[in-house]
Structure 1
Amino acid sequence: MFKSDVLKHFGGTSKTASALDISHSAVCQWGNIIPEKQAMKVERITKGKIKYVPSMYEKASTAGAQP
């Protein structure tokens, strides 16, 4: 889930922090893709208007790793 989509939905950093019951600084520390735990929470509180996409959080397989 992209930070820009979440901020747009809630109307900014402060309102996003309030909606998720986290600190303003926590939201500011997010990268382009928000933490998975928060993404699941956003989907729940927006009643699916913003979707949690599990594939965005899958780890890339290590090159040369044995199955």
Structure 2
Amino acid sequence: MKKSDVLAHFNGVSKVAAALGISPGAVSQWPDEVPVLRQLQIQAITGGQLRASADALKFSQPSA
């Protein structure tokens, strides 16, 4: 999941931060690829409109 896609979906850093319950500064520090746990959170709160990357989904699966 790309940071630019998240910012566009929520219309800015402040709205992303508010939706996630974090500071705008924390969002600003993200690299181009949103951190894995945040991807999963964003996918959940957007009802799948934004989808976590395959790597993030692997991370969320329990290991056998």
Q: TM-score scaled by structure 2?
A: 0.83
Between Structure 1 and Structure 2, the one with more helix by share is 2
What is the CA–CA distance in structure 2 between the aligned matches of 1:56 and 1:5, rounded to whole Å? 16
Local SS of the residue matching 1:42: helix
**Which structure: larger Rg?**
1
Q: Which runs of 5+ in 2 are unaligned?
A: 59-64
- Residue 55 of structure 1, CA deviation: 2.8
Local SS of the residue matching 2:32: coil
The equivalences for 1:6-45 within 5 A come to 6-45=6-45
Runs of 4 or more off by more than 4 Å in structure 1? none
